[in-house]
Amino acid sequence: MEKTKGVKNQSQKPQNEDKRTVELSGHVGFDSLPDQLVSKSVANGFCFNILCVGETGIGKSTLMNTLFNTVFENEEASHYQNKVQLQPQTYDLEESNVNLKLTIVHTVGFGDQINKEDSYKPVLDYIDTQFGRYLEEEMKIKRSLFNYHDTRIHVCLYFITPTGHSLKSLDLVTMKKLDSKVNIIPVIAKADTVSKSELDKLKIKIMSELVSNGVQIYQFPTEDEAVTEINASMNTHLPFAVVGSVEEVQIGNKMVKARLYPWGTVQVENENHCDFVKLREMLLRVNMEDLRDQTHARHYELYRRCRLEEMGFKDTDSDSQSFSLQETYEAKRKEFVKELQRKEENMRQMFVNKVKETEAELKEKEKELHERFEQLKRLHQDEKMNLEEKRRELEEEMNAFNRRKMAAETLMGQALTGCSQQPFKKDKDKKN
Whole-model pTM? 0.69
| C-alpha to C-alpha distance for 190 and 62, rounded to whole angstroms | 10
What is the structure's pLDDT at 386? 92
What is the structure's pLDDT at 128? 92
pLDDT of 155 above 90: yes
Average pLDDT on 79-99 reads: 85
Closest CA to 165 of 130, 198, 143: 198
Collapse the DSSP code of 98 into the 3-class scheme (helix H, G, I; strand E, B; otherwise coil) and give the result: strand
pLDDT of 110 above 80: yes
Residues 6+ apart with CB under 8 A from 258: 245, 247, 249, 251, 265, 266, 267, 268
Average pLDDT on 92-96 reads: 89
Burial class (CB in 10 A: 0-12, 13-18, 19+), 393: exposed
Bigger pLDDT: 70 or 1? 70
List, for residues 43-59, the tens digit of each pLDDT value: 888 899 999 998 888 88
Can you say whether residue 427 is alpha, beta or left, with left for phi > 0 and alpha for psi between -120 and 50 degrees? alpha
Strand partners, 267: 258
DSSP code for 149? -
| C-alpha to C-alpha distance for 128 and 236, rounded to whole angstroms | 31
Bigger pLDDT: 177 or 17? 177
Closest CA to 291 of 194, 207, 432, 185: 185
At what angle are helices 121-138 and 301-310 packed, to 10 degrees?
A: 80
Distances (CA, A) of 284 to 49, 52, 228, 258: 12, 15, 16, 21
Residue 9: what residue type? N
pLDDT of 115 above 50: yes
CB atoms within 10 A of CB 96: 5
Residue positions counted in the chain = 432
pLDDT of 328 above 50: yes
Whether residue 120 contacts residue 109, with contact meaning beta carbons closer than 8 Å, is answered with no
Largest CA distance in the chain: 195
Residue 101: what residue type? K
Q: What backbone torsions phi and psi does residue 221 show, to the nearest 5 degrees?
A: -70, 145
The pairing of beta strand 240-241 with beta strand 155-160: unpaired
At what angle are helices 169-178 and 196-212 packed, to 10 degrees?
A: 50
pLDDT tier for residue 5 given thresholds of 50, 70 and 90: very low
Bigger pLDDT: 5 or 353? 353
pLDDT of 316 above 60: no
Strand partners, 325: none
Distances (CA, A) of 180 to 184, 276, 370: 9, 26, 68
Closest CA to 72 of 49, 58, 44, 92: 92
List, for residues 379-432, the tens digit of each pLDDT value: 999 999 999 999 999 999 999 999 898 988 888 888 888 777 766 666 666 665
| C-alpha to C-alpha distance for 125 and 130, rounded to whole angstroms | 9
List, for residues 369-392, the tens digit of each pLDDT value: 999 999 999 999 999 999 999 999
Residues 6+ apart with CB under 8 A from 182: 51, 127, 153, 154, 155, 156, 295, 299
